[in-house]
Amino acid sequence: MVDLKALDLPELETFFTRRGEPRWRAHQVYRWIWQKGSTDPLAWTDLPRILRERLAEETRVSALRAEHAAASRDGTVKFIFALEDGHRVESVWIPDRDRRTVCVSSQVGCALGCTFCATGLLGLSRNLKAHEIVDQVLQASLLMGERATNVVFMGMGEPLQNWEEVKKALVMLMRHIGLNLGARRITVSTVGIPHRIRELARFPRQVRLAFSLHSAIQEKRETIIPLARRFPLPEILDALWDYYEAHRRWITLEYIHLPGFNDGPEDIEALVRLGRKIPSKVNVIPFNPHPELPFRAPEMEETEAFVSRLRRRFPHPVTFRRPRGRDVFGACGQLALMVQQEARHP
Ligand code: SAH
Ligand code: SF4
């Protein structure tokens, strides 16, 4: 039975025109699904009753099911959504002044195995479909009773390893008759896959880019990010430059503070050299510990001291905000949840 939610607008148009219906039926239905969050064709009152009944019999509208929601004192809410095949992903709702950001997952698990990342421990189960990504934003908004204003791809998975579906999800997120998010309010975070960064550079809309750097020293970076061996920093920087040239958007360098590992003078010097090459700001994230991960969490003062040492030398802005939601995310260690540091750009 066809899932109407799995069809983007052009596919929905084909679906209706093949049935001899006018093209704009697709627009009506798309609005019901993505603007109003309805899953019941019988409620789509601007459609003829006969058509509603046929749709109710012959089609369905899937919805992610929230299995769990945990609210932090600071307003951050973590959701665990069940997919139709029983897999689970995490999403986070992050309110901040006039913004409401949803941090979405792009894969069930991740194949890349970064040594500081709890998702990496899971391995990859499967890629998410575009509508499963977009539905995280819709369901979180429905449950919170407010519209999301921003989306960051910083949940589970490496979005650029699922580029086709992520690209489709970006288009769906931006549709005016759907969630209507502006490109500049969407940030894709990547561990660095040069040819896919170039795809994002060619993408016609100005989606923001965050690059998970974590060490500007190639040899060190390889020890925590296995993929770095395949894609060395100079190649990634070339691709980041292409992105910058195409969109004139500053890049966020995500930098997890791993005390004693990537916070020494040589680490700062390497960061400074890199910062001179690329219009970028650094966003420092204190490592979020997990029993199975081989690093210790920094004391707040340690991270603050590192940030001020870095600020003295780095040619562009360095941001650091206290982690959000740690009271509820503590034990599970899902990094997704570190997105408090959702990209803020100069
Ligand atoms: N795969 C993509 C996006 C998902 S990870 C990427 O790696 O960029 C989202 C962010 O959470 C990344 O910046 C990642 O480095 C960070 N992260 C992962 N594990 C973390 C941990 N234990 N503590 C703090 N941040 C973490
Ligand atoms: Fe995958 Fe990103 Fe975690 Fe690395 S940090 S394992 S790329 S989700």
Which of 90, 116, 152, 191 has the most ligand 2 atoms within 8 A of CB, as the residue to mutate? Answer: 191
Whether residues 47 and 94 share a domain: the answer is no
Whether residues 224 and 251 share a domain: the answer is yes
What are φ and ψ of residue 90, in 5° steps?
-110, 145
pLDDT value for 34: 98
Q: Is 120 in the pocket of ligand 2 (CB under 6 A)?
A: yes
Whether residues 24 and 109 share a domain: the answer is no
Q: Is 340 in the pocket of ligand 1 (CB under 6 A)?
A: no
Residue nearest to atom 2 of ligand 2 (CA): 158
Q: Is residue 230 part of a domain?
A: yes
Closest CA to 201 of 240, 151, 253, 173: 240
Rounded to whole angstroms, the maximal C-alpha distance in the chain is: 71
C-alpha span between 340 and 95 (Å, rounded): 9
Q: Return the ligand 1 atom nearest residue 210 CA.
A: 8
Q: Return the ligand 2 atom nearest residue 107 CA.
A: 8
pLDDT value for 327: 63
Q: Is residue 335 part of a domain?
A: no
pLDDT value for 264: 98
Q: Is 211 in the pocket of ligand 1 (CB under 6 A)?
A: no
Residue nearest to atom 6 of ligand 2 (CA): 120
Total domains in the fold of the chain? 2
Measured CA distances, 210 to 67, 86, 317 (Å)? 29, 30, 14
Q: What is the pLDDT of residues 67-118, one digit of tens each?
A: 989 888 888 999 999 999 999 999 999 998 999 999 999 999 999 999 999 8
Q: Quick one: which ligand is closest to 283's CA?
A: 1
Which of 290, 295, 338, 340 has the most ligand 1 atoms within 8 A of CB, as the residue to mutate? Answer: 338
Q: Return the ligand 2 atom nearest residue 156 CA.
A: 8
Whether residues 9 and 127 share a domain: the answer is no
Residue nearest to atom 8 of ligand 2 (CA): 157
Q: What is the whole-number distance in angstroms between the Cα of residue 309 and the centre of ligand 1?
A: 23
Task: Indicate the SS3 state at residue 82.
Answer: strand
Cβ neighbours for 273, distance < 8 A, ≥ 6 positions apart: 216
Residue 46: domain span: 2-60
Residue nearest to atom 4 of ligand 2 (CA): 114
Q: What is the whole-number distance in angstroms between the Cα of residue 26 and the centre of ligand 2?
A: 37
Q: What is the whole-number distance in angstroms between the Cα of residue 156 and the centre of ligand 2?
A: 7
Q: Is 255 in the pocket of ligand 1 (CB under 6 A)?
A: no
Strands (E), 160-306: 186-190, 208-212, 251-257, 280-286
Closest CA to 81 of 99, 62, 55, 57: 62
Whether residues 52 and 159 share a domain: the answer is no
Q: Is residue 336 part of a domain?
A: no
Angle between helices 233-247 and 265-277 (to 10 degrees): 40
Whether residues 156 and 302 share a domain: the answer is yes
Whether residues 18 and 149 share a domain: the answer is no
Q: Is residue 341 part of a domain?
A: no
Q: Is 282 in the pocket of ligand 2 (CB under 6 A)?
A: no
Provide the annotated active-site residues: 90, 332
The ranges of the chain with pLDDT < 50 are 330-346
From the number of C-beta atoms within 10 Å of its C-beta (0-12, 13-18, 19+), residue 51 rates as middle
Whether residues 77 and 52 share a domain: the answer is no
Q: Is 191 in the pocket of ligand 2 (CB under 6 A)?
A: yes
Whether residues 135 and 267 share a domain: the answer is yes
Whether residues 217 and 287 share a domain: the answer is yes
What CATH number is given to the structural domain containing 53? 1.10.150.530
Whether residues 37 and 133 share a domain: the answer is no
- Out of 12, 31, 60, pick the residue that ends a domain: 60
Q: Is residue 346 part of a domain?
A: no
Q: What is the whole-number distance in angstroms between the Cα of residue 337 and the centre of ligand 1?
A: 9
What CATH number is given to the structural domain containing 196? 3.20.20.70
Q: Is residue 25 part of a domain?
A: yes
| CA–CA–CA angle 194, 259, 346 (5° rounding) | 50
Q: Is residue 37 part of a domain?
A: yes
Q: Is 295 in the pocket of ligand 1 (CB under 6 A)?
A: no
Measured CA distances, 105 to 92, 129, 152, 193, 223 (Å)? 9, 11, 9, 18, 25
pLDDT value for 326: 67
Which of 121, 152, 214, 256 has the most ligand 1 atoms within 8 A of CB, as the residue to mutate? Answer: 256
Whether residues 181 and 309 share a domain: the answer is yes
Q: Is residue 337 part of a domain?
A: no
